[in-house]
Amino acid sequence: MYGLGVCAIGIVISGCELIEKAASPTSPTPVATPAPPAAATPVRYTAIGASDANGVGSTAPCVPFTACDNGTGYVPVLARQLRASRGVTLTNLGLPASVLSPSVETIARQHNREVTGNFVDRQMPFVPRDSTLVTIFGGGNDANAIGDAIEKGAAGSTIQGYIDTQARAFGADFDRLVRGVRERAPEAFIIVLNVPNLASLPYAARYPVEHRRVLQAISVAFSREANRQAGPGVVVMDVMCDAGMYAPAHFSRDGFHPNDAGYAHMASRLAAIVGGSPTSAASACSYMSAH
């Protein structure tokens, strides 16, 4: 789902900025609040994520930065579903073993957890300016990295205080990410997926209960920061309180990444949102306190 394993990727992203004429400060052009792309209109879809965006765990994972039309991860599946009724141009910026937050990347490296970068620095700057749909799914690698740091003593005796501090930093980085996407692609409709309770995923079953409770606290705190992103032109797809995100039959062998069925579940929910179905995140549910 989020790139549990470490991936060695020798790909250098390069990009160039188009020279754009700034709007006159004395006569700004009003911009309507972005809405889901209208039915049958072409979609310029950009995905921001980690290994989940590449379909790791599925039967047909994708090489990073490729369209991968036959992939079975949620990104290519969603693109195919949308193509049934319209043209779709896909830019998949997903990078395995990446984290959303620059602050978490720093902590991960300090504790010898190898990561490939963060969404703010390595993905957001490359969002095409003509994007009309952007999905953002991150926070799982971040939660695992903070859990590792706590296990190695980074929190001292004040674990909850440390989690609260890291959640605020994660939230500030999430703000930067969404704001940056909006500045680059002002007409994009943005779907943010929050964070599931990682302590309830199959891979966490091997952890002692104390470890799972810490992972749960981090997941819930990070998910709430994702929920804050809801606003004009931005909706949150609630995966924290979605029973389908915890179904054992939806996971690959590693117990962390979804399998084809899990990714299909995610894609169908995203397609419904693009089709205009309302969505919001629950403020509380049983999955937030399962451990």
Give tens-digit pLDDT for 60-107: 999 999 989 999 999 999 999 999 999 999 999 999 999 999 999 999
pLDDT grade for 31, boundaries at 50, 70 and 90: low
Tokens 């931005």 belong to 234
Give tens-digit pLDDT for 193-214: 999 999 999 999 999 999 999 9
Average pLDDT of span 1-15 = 40
Longest dimension (CA), the chain: 61
Residue 6 has pLDDT above 80, yes or no: no
CATH of domain 43-289: 3.40.50.1110
Residue 9 has pLDDT above 60, yes or no: no
Residues 23-45 as b or e (16 or more Cβ within 10 Å = b): eeeeeeeeeeebebbeeeeebbb
What percent of the chain is modeled with pLDDT above 70? 89
Residue 155 has pLDDT above 50, yes or no: yes
- pTM equals 0.90
Residue 5 has pLDDT above 80, yes or no: no
Amino acid at 274: V
Identify the weakest region by mean pLDDT among 9-13, 79-83, 106-110, 134-138: 9-13
What mean pLDDT is reported for the chain?
A: 91
Average pLDDT of span 265-272 = 98
Give tens-digit pLDDT for 93-102: 999 999 999 9
Average pLDDT of span 22-42 = 69
- The full 3-state SS of the chain, as one line of letters, equals CCCCCCCCCCCCCCCCCCCCCCCCCCCCCCCCCCCCCCCCCCEEEEEEECHHHHCCCCCCCCCCCCCCCCCCCHHHHHHHHHHCCCCEEEEECCCCCCECCHHHHHHHHHCCCCCCCEHHHHCHHHCCCCCCEEEEECCHHHHHHHHHHHHCCCCCCCHHHHHHHHHHHHHHHHHHHHHHHHHHCCCCEEEEECCCCHHHCHHHHHCCHHHHHHHHHHHHHHHHHHHCCCECCEEEECCCCCHHHCCHHHECCCCCCECHHHHHHHHHHHHHHHCCCCCCCCCCCHHHHCC
